[in-house]
């Protein structure tokens, strides 16, 4: 039985606001710091506000629309609704002292997960915010979310299927640690239209990662960043709080072919297999193919760890069966590949793994191509001892 509960949520979250948040100035004049676009450089990657032909910065919607890569009107409408939802989540995570959140009991919502995995209030609210935006877009037939046991049917004739983790990393939320939304977009499989609703929703959600039309993530951190691929490179847009627009700041991201950073929860060292221990021991000592000692960075928030890896290079990994193929590994692998990187489960390319169930978990290694290849050469890198950690 499919369930979709947005109408029973506190109305304050779901007032059908007109789609004009925040109001757009008629003529936007740029602060000079934007016109002289070089802002900073990290690891050889320069962050620029890209100016369009009218000398104004390109917004996400302009970029995907007719003035940019022109992904088609339906997808533009979907992305417009998605970015709106993500701005609402950004505002919520930045200011979570909303009394309505108290109405959500930890572990409530439409998910049977419990213990460490039980959804937090902000997980549930973020899920509802995105679901209601996608429903209003009229462009989405099915949404498969981490927060719902089964896929949710929206508009029967919607051209797209969305898979998502609405708010990853939320267990750190009370410490204001970065969180993120992950999404993937597929075409609806029209050849399945004749099937019963539940069956076609499930099959539409289990498409292979190679069929993704678009994918990305939104990082909620010191900046809110919408990073996406539509199959022609990976591009990131930073939320400009003065106008409410996502501005193209990182066009055509290229991950460094090799980084000097590994990102993993190494408290699990003694549960790791021999190959993974050996790899980490080797690069820590600067004895790998790249003869410099590696550094460790681990936020324990997948989007944040992946975003850093995309910009600085190296590997973000979780070697145990924890992260989800459909709405975490596949979308992030698509972005990684479009930036010249790799997404692997330690043995195979992620996007070639056929999903068999919605919440399927697997080891995940994302990052610089040379680092991933070197790590894979140790062969025995998937952690099979997975006792169910408490924190």
Ligand X SMILES: O=P(O)(O)OC[C@H]1O[C@](O)(COP(=O)(O)O)[C@@H](O)[C@@H]1O
- Least distance to ligand X, CB of residue 26, Å: 41
User: Any catalytic annotation for residue 123?
Assistant: yes
Min. distance of Cβ 310 from ligand X in angstroms? 15
Burial class (CB in 10 A: 0-12, 13-18, 19+), 274: exposed
Closer residue to ligand X (CB): 171 or 284: 171
Q: Which residues bind ligand X (CB under 6 A)?
A: 117, 168-169, 171, 265, 300-302, 318, 320, 322, 389
Contact 342, 257 (CB under 8 A): no
Q: Give me the catalytic one of 146, 245, 305, 345.
A: 146
Q: Can 165 be counted among the known catalytic residues?
A: yes
User: Which letter, b or e, does each residue of 157-176 get, where b requires 16 or more Cβ atoms within 10 Å of its Cβ?
Assistant: ebbbbbbbbbbbbbbebeee
CB of 29 to ligand X, least distance (A): 39
* 167 catalytically annotated: yes
Task: Supply the minimum distance, in Å, between the C-beta of residue 232 and ligand X.
Answer: 28
User: Which residue number, 58 or 333, has a Cβ lying nearer to ligand X?
Assistant: 333
Catalytic residue among 82, 131, 134, 147: 147
Nearest distance, CB of residue 56 and ligand X, angstroms: 35
Rounded CA separation 280/173 (Å): 29
Among candidate residues 168, 305, 370, 374, the one labeled active-site is: 168
Choice between 117 and 380, CB closer to ligand X: 117
> In sequence order, what DSSP letters do the residues of 235-265 get, joined into one string?
EEEEEETTTTEEEEEETT----SS-SEEE--
Instruction: Name the active-site residue from 165, 240, 337, 374.
Output: 165
User: What's the CA gap between 349 and 334, in Å, rounded?
Assistant: 11
Specify whether 168 is catalytic: yes
CB nearer ligand X, residue 63 or residue 262: 262
Distance CA 255, CA 216 (A): 15
Write down the catalytic residue from 78, 131, 167, 323: 167
Question: Minimum distance from CB of 104 to ligand X (Å)?
Answer: 16
Q: Which residues of 2-31 are buried (b: 16+ CB within 10 A; e: fewer)?
A: eebebeebeeebbeeeeeeeeeeeeeeeee
**C-alpha distance across the termini of the chain, in Å:** 33
Is the CB of 141 or the CB of 325 nearer to ligand X? 325
- Cβ distance 75 to 64 under 8 Å? yes
Phi, psi of 115 (to 5 degrees): 65, -140
Neighbours of 106 (CB within 10 A): 11
Nearer of residues 171 and 254 to ligand X, judged by Cβ: 171
Catalytic residue among 128, 328, 370, 376: 328
Phi, psi at residue 309, to the nearest 5°?
-65, -40
Residues that are catalytic: 117, 123, 146-147, 165, 167-168, 328
């Amino acid at each position: 039985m499919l369930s979709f509960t947005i109408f029973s949520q506190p109305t304050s979250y779901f007032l059908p606001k007109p789609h004009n948040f925040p109001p757009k100035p008629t003529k936007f004049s740029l602060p000079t710091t934007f016109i002289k676009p070089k802002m900073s450089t990290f690891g050889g990657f320069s962050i620029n506000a890209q100016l369009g032909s009218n000398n104004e910065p390109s917004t996400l919607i302009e970029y995907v629309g007719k003035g940019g890569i022109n992904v088609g009107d339906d997808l533009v409408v979907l992305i417009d609704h998605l970015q709106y939802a993500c701005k609402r989540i950004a505002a919520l995570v930045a200011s979570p002292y909303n009394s309505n959140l108290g109405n959500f009991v930890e572990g409530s919502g439409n998910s049977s997960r419990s213990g460490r995995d039980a959804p937090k209030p902000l997980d549930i609210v973020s899920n509802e915010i995105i679901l209601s935006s996608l429903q209003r877009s009229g462009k989405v037939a099915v949404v498969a979310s981490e927060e719902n046991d089964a896929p949710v049917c929206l508009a029967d004739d919607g051209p797209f299927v969305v898979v998502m983790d609405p708010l990853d990393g939320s267990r750190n939320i009370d410490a204001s640690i970065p969180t993120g939304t992950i999404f993937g977009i597929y075409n609806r499989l029209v050849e399945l239209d004749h099937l019963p609703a539940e069956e076609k929703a499930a099959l539409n959600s289990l498409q292979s990662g190679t069929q993704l039309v678009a994918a990305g993530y939104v990082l909620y951190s010191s900046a809110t960043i919408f990073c996406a691929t539509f199959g022609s490179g990976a591009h990131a847009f930073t939320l400009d709080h003065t106008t409410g627009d996502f501005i193209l700041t990182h066009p055509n991201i290229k991950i460094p072919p090799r980084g000097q950073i590994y990102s993993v929860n190494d408290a699990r060292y003694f549960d790791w297999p021999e190959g993974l221990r050996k790899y980490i021991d080797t690069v820590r000592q600067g004895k790998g193919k790249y003869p410099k000692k590696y550094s460790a960075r681990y936020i324990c928030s997948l989007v944040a760890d992946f975003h850093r890896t995309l910009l600085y290079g190296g590997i973000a990994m979780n070697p145990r069966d924890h992260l989800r193929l459909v709405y975490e590994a596949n979308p992030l692998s698509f972005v990684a590949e479009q930036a010249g990187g790799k997404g692997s489960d330690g043995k195979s390319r992620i996007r070639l793994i056929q999903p068999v169930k919605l919440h399927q978990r697997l080891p995940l290694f994302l990052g610089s191509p040379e680092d991933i290849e070197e790590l894979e050469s140790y062969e025995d890198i998937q952690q099979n001892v997975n006792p169910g950690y408490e924190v």
